[in-house]
Amino acid sequence: MIPQPQNSNSLKWSRYCLEIDSRTLVMGVLNVTPDSFYDGGRYHKFRDAVEQALRMAEEGADIIDVGGESTRPYSNPLSLEEELKRVIPVVETLSKELEIPISIDTYKSEVAVRALEAGAAMVNDISAMRFDPAIGNVVAAAGVPIVLMHMKETPQNMQSNPTYKDLLGEIMEFLEGAADKALSMGIQRELIIIDPGIGFGKSFDDNLVILRDLWKFSSLGYPILVGTSNKAFIGHVLGAPVESRDTGTMATIAAAVMNGAHIIRAHNVKAAKETVTMIDAIKEGFPAPLS
């Protein structure tokens, strides 16, 4: 039996309650960018982004994660002004049209502040508060969940020959330290989510090891989020271009859920929802049918 997190069986805050132990949650990826590795430019325009988010919600997304800055390997930082211009109108509109929580994918405290004011209800920080520590104060004051992700170095250099002496041990130590810092800043323990950072400063083999041994992260006592969607290691294994990695993505999602993931982050919400529902049924017994 895979250990369950030591904190609450649900993420409860404001008007939201996400039952993380009764089923696996799906976070739909909405990149409001011209240059993301998978869907860059596809939803860069405001109306296209909103329509895609509404579609993902209809397909069963539990959370919509809105990001305005590409953090693909070797990408350059985006200005605060441009990131705000991209994400705030989308967040504001979606928070009024959807009942599910909107997450803001940012490491900038000012973007987090403005997005939360616009109706966002979560913060997903790829830097785990390293790039802008003030984001922790913002999250604590707002009383919302935060995702703390492991990344080696920065997007600009994270894939420049990443090496580890103890892959899992180093990632777990990093995440435990990030969570402790979050607690010290006043973020509620039950609102902390950890992410091992698939593809962020990891070799292809590292990503496979993390998925295989994901259950070990349960010992930290926090819900686990995993994002594998269409990433390069899938293309490496299958010899598939980025637009042809759905099957591989669903295989990695299945592995993540079998090994203890509570939330998965995906571009193809419909396929991901079906995948996690099937794996949840294998793990726990037949659930209520998808509507």
* HEC-encoded secondary structure of 39-70: CCCCCCCHHHHHHHHHHHHHCCCCEEEEECCC
What residues have CB less than 8 Å from 286, skipping those under 6 apart? none
Domain encompassing residue 86: 21-284
Tell me whether strands 16-18 and 225-227 are parallel, antiparallel or unpaired: unpaired
b/e per residue, 197-215, with b = 16+ CB within 10 A?
bbbbbbbeebbbebbeebe
Is residue 57 domain-resident? yes
Is residue 125 domain-resident? yes
What residues have CB less than 8 Å from 270, skipping those under 6 apart? 59, 60
Is residue 283 annotated as a catalytic residue, yes or no?
A: no
pLDDT tens for each residue of 14-24: 999 999 988 99
* Catalytic choice (86, 216, 231, 273): 231
Overall residue count recorded for the chain in this entry: 291
Is residue 114 annotated as a catalytic residue, yes or no?
A: no
Is residue 81 domain-resident? yes
Distance CA 55, CA 1 (A): 35
Residue 147: is its pLDDT beyond 70?
yes
**Per-residue confidence (pLDDT) for residue 197, from 0 to 100:** 97
**Per-residue confidence (pLDDT) for residue 37, from 0 to 100:** 44
pLDDT tens for each residue of 251-282: 999 999 999 999 999 999 999 999 999 999 99
- For the segment 88-92, the average pLDDT, to the nearest whole number, is 97
Question: What percentage of the chain reaches a pLDDT higher than 90?
Answer: 80
- For the segment 153-181, the average pLDDT, to the nearest whole number, is 90
**Per-residue confidence (pLDDT) for residue 34, from 0 to 100:** 77
Is residue 3 domain-resident? no
Task: State the pTM of this model.
Answer: 0.91
Is residue 211 domain-resident? yes
- For the segment 22-43, the average pLDDT, to the nearest whole number, is 75
* Catalytic choice (114, 152, 265, 273): 265
Residue type, 246: D
Instruction: Please report how many Cα atoms fall inside a 13 Å half-sphere around the Cα of residue 281, on the Cβ side.
Output: 11
- Name the domain count of the chain: 1
Is residue 6 domain-resident? no
Is residue 8 domain-resident? no
List the CATH number of the domain containing 106.
Answer: 3.20.20.20
Is residue 4 domain-resident? no
